[in-house]
Amino acid sequence: MSSASTDPFPLVEATIDDIHTAISSGFITAETLVERYLARIDAYDDDLNAILTVNDDARHRARQLDTAFESDGFVGPLHGVAVILKDNQDTHDMPTTAGSVALADSSPSRDAFVVEQLRDAGAIILAKANLQELSFGVDTISSLGGATRNAYDLDRRPAGSSGGTAASIAANLATIGTGSDTCSSVRSPPAFNNLVGVRPTRGLVSRTGIVPLSETQDTAGPITRTVADAARMLEVIAGYDPEDPVTATGVDTVPRDGYSAHLDPTGLEGARIGVARQFFGVHDQDSASDADAEAVTAVVESAIDDMAEAGATIVDPIDVVDIDFLESARVLQYEFARDFDQYLSELGDDTPHDSLADVYETGTIAPSIDSRIVDADILEIDADSLAEHGGYLRRLERRQQLKETTLSRFAEHDLDAVVYPPSTIPPVERPANQPFTEMNCELSAHTGLPALVVPAGVTDDGLPVGVELLGTEFGEPRLFELAYSFEQITDHRRPPDRFGELKQD
């Protein structure tokens, strides 16, 4: 379907700036924008299966913003911008389910910190997206929502756990979206759906009101179609939250002029970028083929060449960390039940269950997630003993060592960023599961350092490939400079063919 050529505001690929210009020019209102996005959800989500809940209050919120604009102008930097939230982020006016049938009636009485920040900035919460149930995995399958499909090939996975957000933003069902990332979830779904994703430095963005998987590894982050929108969104959701003490480490790290001031088209000139070859190619021959990995590597190699042509010095290769040591720093299996139970306890009378064990005992969890919980012995961990658990404490110590080692590589080679593919292989065909072993998520997740994924091109089969840039602690401004420069010189973002403009009445 295509829109009439007289449409004063084409919605497909519209950015925050596009929307604000159109509102200022009188081409569109917030209410009209919401109606058009809701029409797209109605028309296209049967194919994607990305949306769990539409916000019944979205139209009313839009009308309020339109009234405010008529009298006082924009209420904030995201005025009228439609947002799709990953459904593990609390909303006072919608259920927060983590994709679980067992939590279908869980209705928190307040917003997550990041949701409150978005609303205060003028955003409209349009809908909540499907996710890998309880965020535990990389497929985006849930007992409540079923399986979400990749926007570029409906027979393939969108990655996860934030795959519902990624698929919906790729298909232009909203302007911007949120994800959360314990290891891969705001990086591999954007990579698989031709999007931008940012995993912030640990401490930059609050976790309050987000259904947890691992307190040590969890963070929220933007999922957008452009680097500029990601920068503008991160400016809004970053900030100190007294209920999440780790955010005290991020105080005064956001530039006074914001991340948007670092959208430099010449940002690659003079940059030094290290290529982490240890994250290229198949990691496990039982999970993927060399041919699949070669398809991704070819796209990433071309992206590295583009960076060099734009003036970057490529340091190739660099060995960042020992892979076995990196894998041995994973703490999710120790923290999952403890942190999830704490989240439920904070809901008080709003919680339908008291613990992860209770949720598991309902027998409703999707089979692939159920088996992962069993295989990882998640429910066998005694949370009360973790403060004295040698294995857990050693892993926490390894994370600090990994951070120090990684930062030493930056210093040794005078690097601005390290580059590698977010996944060694493309999205797999359903019903196969996306192999976690081929996700290169642990370097950022286990060091707490920031990473940004940007579209790098497509395979010969037309499947999107992303490239991941790892930065130094609170080095987001430099990552935005590099990513924006790469985005502007390559222009790889293309919307999926099957989700075009709808005809306007």
The whole-number pLDDT of residue 503 equals 85
The whole-number pLDDT of residue 411 equals 98
Task: Compute the CA torsion angle 63, 65, 67, 69 (nearest 10 deg).
Answer: -150
**DSSP structural state of residue 84:** E
The domain made up of 16-490 has a fold known as: Amidase signature (AS) enzymes (3.90.1300)
SS (H, E, C) 456-490: EEECCCCCEEEEEEECCCCCHHHHHHHHHHHHHHH
Three-state DSSP class for residue 248: helix
- Of the candidates 209, 215, 185, the one whose C-alpha atom is nearest the C-alpha of residue 115 is 209
Give yes or no: 161 in active site.
yes
- Say how far apart CA 268 and CA 4 lie, in whole Å: 39
Q: Which of 142, 161, 206, 214 is catalytic?
A: 161
The whole-number pLDDT of residue 8 equals 80
Q: Which of 86, 188, 403, 423 is catalytic?
A: 86
Tell how strand 272-275 and strand 417-420 pair up.
parallel
- Of the candidates 121, 118, 131, the one whose C-alpha atom is nearest the C-alpha of residue 52 is 131
- What is the chain's pLDDT, residue by residue, as a tens digit (505 residues)? 344 345 689 999 999 999 999 999 999 999 999 999 999 999 999 999 999 999 999 999 999 999 999 999 999 999 999 999 999 999 999 999 999 999 999 999 999 999 999 999 999 999 999 999 999 999 999 999 999 999 999 999 999 999 999 999 999 999 999 999 999 999 999 999 999 999 999 999 999 999 999 999 999 999 999 999 999 999 999 999 999 999 999 999 999 999 999 999 999 999 999 999 999 999 999 999 999 999 999 999 999 999 999 999 999 999 999 999 999 999 999 999 999 999 999 998 888 999 999 999 999 999 999 999 999 999 999 999 999 999 999 999 999 999 999 999 999 999 999 999 999 999 999 999 999 999 999 999 999 999 999 999 999 999 999 999 999 999 999 999 999 999 999 999 999 999 999 987 4
SS (H, E, C) 301-317: HHHHHHHHHCCCEEECC
Give yes or no: 142 in active site.
no
Note whether 180 and 189 are within 8 A (CB): no
Note whether 98 and 87 are within 8 A (CB): yes
Give yes or no: 385 in active site.
no
In the chain, where are the structural domains located?
Answer: 16-490
Q: Which of 143, 180, 184, 185 is catalytic?
A: 185
Output the DSSP codes for 172-241. TSSSEEEEEESSSTTTHHHHHTT-EEEEPPTTSB--TTB--S-TTT-EEEEEESSHHHHHHHHHHHBS--
The whole-number pLDDT of residue 7 equals 66
